[in-house]
Amino acid sequence: MKTKPIHPLPGADDVYRRVLPNGITILARPNFNSAAVTLSGYFAAGALAEPQEKLGLADFVASALMRGTQKHSFDEIYNRLESVGASLGYDSGVHTTSFGGRSLAEDLPLLIDLFSETLRTPTFPADEVERLRAQLLTGLALRAQDTSDMADLTFDQIMYAGHPYSRPGDGWPETIRSITREDLFDFHRSFFGPRGLILSIVGGIDPQRAADIVENALGGWQPDEQKDMPSLPPLKPIKKTIQKKYRISGKSQSDLVVGTVGPRRKDSEYVAASLGNSVLGQFGMMGRIGDVVRERSGLAYYAYSNLSAGVGPGAWTVSAGVNPSNVKKTVDLVKRELERFVNKGVTKSELADSQANFIGRLPLSLESNGGVANALLNIERYNLGLDYYRGYVERIRAVTPRDVLAAAQKYIDPERLGISIAGP
């Protein structure tokens, strides 16, 4: 295998970008050290477009795409993929449907061919739809028993009451039962199309050749009936702290979530909030939260914070799994840490630690084809510029403790938290 010298970080000089006339954007970067290729991307078709009585529709469609096309049955599609050790799949979120796949580099044409086919010409065969429905319903029965899933879901219902972010992407048993084949076809016809589809390919293949393969397969797709997604309605903030419990009997451990609503990825405070979150509950053995809840109090095996900024205002949360008798003690400790974070911010040395971590971990996050493919998608999705990762160090270093404090105070109000608990 030939080895080409290449900058460790992607940039304008080694990321290939091609926009097709029908609106598809292709990003590609070579990695000739790898015998494999990764495909990943997304387009604007998500749960935001679901009516209340059909929750889980976008997810149902995404899962059903692989179940049969005009040319191939479910078994034939997977037989082609699995025979060469390739994989392909779809997943949906609130705003988009995403896709991902990989194969040995020699099999990229086959992978793209199946991608194009399942994306454009699914037939949603009736027997496969019913089979899938039973699987989705079993997934929901398992979710109802999962303390971590139910704590997250309950948290979203508190914090995003009346907003699409409060709704579970995989729906409820009654909504999954109510979805018809016609609903699947309608959703596909309305929201699937080439306009705004972003796709990246990284691995042991020449980028122009990869783009040619994609253009060949998808260049002829026209956005005839493709509709825009509805826009995200504004969020009404909660007025005081709300705590809810979801009871699951017979369990040994409770999961809890304490948190609020954070920034969007494009908000100017995002980088400062992200560094602040690292100090709060990520750095090393999970930051201050890990130190207080796990190291000093021995209350939990896992305790950490998470900032899930995206297109809209994602949640900024602290999560932990604890013995049911320790729930109150843990919630109190977490609340105290959030107060300290909002009142005093972070020290210069804590911030410097997290800044060094963000900068130092770049090579690790970008070593695999999948890591680079995701980085390219982020650049495109949030309009960061192809040289984003090359200018990353300066951007991270520019953040001050004052910036972190301002971000913490803007988003976290210790008097208006959402607190959810799932367990016995």
Site for other proteins in 36-55 (CB under 8 A): 36
Q: Is 295 among the residues that bind other proteins (CB under 8 A)?
A: yes
Q: Is 234 among the residues that bind other proteins (CB under 8 A)?
A: no
Q: Please, how many CA atoms are within 13 Å of residue 198, restricted to the half-sphere of its CB?
A: 20
Report d(CA 37, CA 216) in Å as an integer: 18
The residue (of 126 and 285) whose beta carbon lies closer to other proteins is 285
Q: Which of 269, 271, 283, 308 is nearest to 397 (CA)?
A: 271
Q: Is 71 among the residues that bind other proteins (CB under 8 A)?
A: no
368 CB burial (10 A radius; 0-12, 13-18, 19+) = middle
CB of 286 to other proteins, least distance (A): 10
Q: Which of 361, 81, 35, 44 is nearest to 202 (CA)?
A: 35
Q: Which of 322, 334, 332, 337 is nearest to 422 (CA)?
A: 322
Residues binding other proteins: number (CB under 8 A): 71
Q: Which residues in the 94-123 window bind other proteins by CB under 8 A?
A: 102-104
From 205-213, 235-243, 299-307, 402-410, give the range in contact with other proteins by CB under 8 A: 299-307
The residue (of 33 and 241) whose beta carbon lies closer to other proteins is 33
The residue (of 12 and 134) whose beta carbon lies closer to other proteins is 134
**Tokens coding 168:** 């579970």
Interacting residue with other proteins among 12, 35, 126, 398 (CB under 8 A): 35
Q: Which of 111, 108, 171, 113 is nearest to 141 (CA)?
A: 171
Q: Is 347 among the residues that bind other proteins (CB under 8 A)?
A: no
Interacting residue with other proteins among 27, 28, 34, 117 (CB under 8 A): 34
Q: Is 82 among the residues that bind other proteins (CB under 8 A)?
A: yes
DSSP tag of 96: -
212 CB burial (10 A radius; 0-12, 13-18, 19+) = middle
Q: Is 248 among the residues that bind other proteins (CB under 8 A)?
A: yes
From 127-135, 207-215, 339-347, 404-412, give the range in contact with other proteins by CB under 8 A: 127-135
Report d(CA 43, CA 34) in Å as an integer: 27
Report d(CA 344, CA 352) in Å as an integer: 16
* Residues linked to residue 201 through DSSP beta bridges, in sequence order: 28, 39
The residue (of 164 and 401) whose beta carbon lies closer to other proteins is 401
Q: Is 306 among the residues that bind other proteins (CB under 8 A)?
A: no
Q: Which residues in the 143-172 window bind other proteins by CB under 8 A?
A: 144-147
Q: Is 284 among the residues that bind other proteins (CB under 8 A)?
A: yes
Residue 232 one-letter amino acid: L
CB of 258 to other proteins, least distance (A): 17
Interacting residue with other proteins among 12, 126, 141, 398 (CB under 8 A): 141
